[in-house]
Amino acid sequence: MTTVAIFDLDDTLVDTTARLVPEALRRTAEALGVPVGRLNAGGKTVDEVTAPCGPLDPAQLEAAARAWYDPVVPELAPAPGARELLGRLRGRVRLVLLTRGDPQRQSNKIDRAGLRDLFDEIVIRSSEEPGSKADDLQRILSGTDPKRSVVIGDDPNDELRYGAALGCLTIDVRTTPLCTIEEVLTQAGLLE
């Protein structure tokens, strides 16, 4: 049975925190007229990022959301070894990219990092939609054996937790470099 490998995007295949977050924070602070230090730099959604500013009126919230989710993304180098790894896995496993955020911004990140043609399936969940990546993982894995599936990401409270709960092998890229993931899959018997 084919192995399914599900990759997260942000801080897994692209270094979002270093490359894109500072500018997004600067834009959002400017839109609200507050110092950057007032924002929650670790937030993912606009609500999380602006939470320290207290309740915002609808116009402020709209301006902050426009700034935080600005779909314009600069040229983005994928994480070292990412394209090579995906190229080697292509055709040997079913490759799925699962990401959450503003759909247009996420889609532009995928294109700007040159990752689109390396995946069999790309799933983008809008931050505004109810539900979580758990629902997407369940759908992606339907009809497949979770034990033949691997979830590769950076967030222990998101894709890694949901993947483990479904019975998948999970690989945390904060402790396992992308260049050794092929070895991990081989050792786990998931690659021929």
| Distance, CA of 86 to CA of 83 (rounded, Å) | 5
Q: How far is the CB of 10 from Mg ion (least distance, A)?
A: 4
Q: Scan residues 136-165 and list those touching Mg ion (CB under 5 A).
A: 154-155
Nearest residue (CB) to Mg ion, 11 versus 70: 11
Which residue of 10, 70, 102, 136 would you call a contact of Mg ion, by CB under 5 A?
10
At residue 119, the 3 state secondary structure works out as: coil
The tokens of 188 are what?
């786990």
Which residue of 5, 11, 86, 141 would you call a contact of Mg ion, by CB under 5 A?
11
Residue nearest to Mg ion (CB): 10
| Distance, CA of 146 to CA of 6 (rounded, Å) | 11
Contact 23, 169 (CB under 8 A): no
For residue 90, the 8-state DSSP code is B
Amino acid at 162: Y
Contact 166, 175 (CB under 8 A): no
Q: How far is the CB of 101 from Mg ion (least distance, A)?
A: 10
Nearest residue (CB) to Mg ion, 67 versus 173: 173
Can residue 70 be called a binding residue for Mg ion (CB under 5 A)? Answer: no
Q: How far is the CB of 33 from Mg ion (least distance, A)?
A: 30
Nearest residue (CB) to Mg ion, 31 versus 76: 76
Contact 6, 96 (CB under 8 A): yes
Q: Binders of Mg ion: how many residues, by CB under 5 A?
A: 5
Contact residues toward Mg ion (CB under 5 A) are: 8, 10-11, 154-155
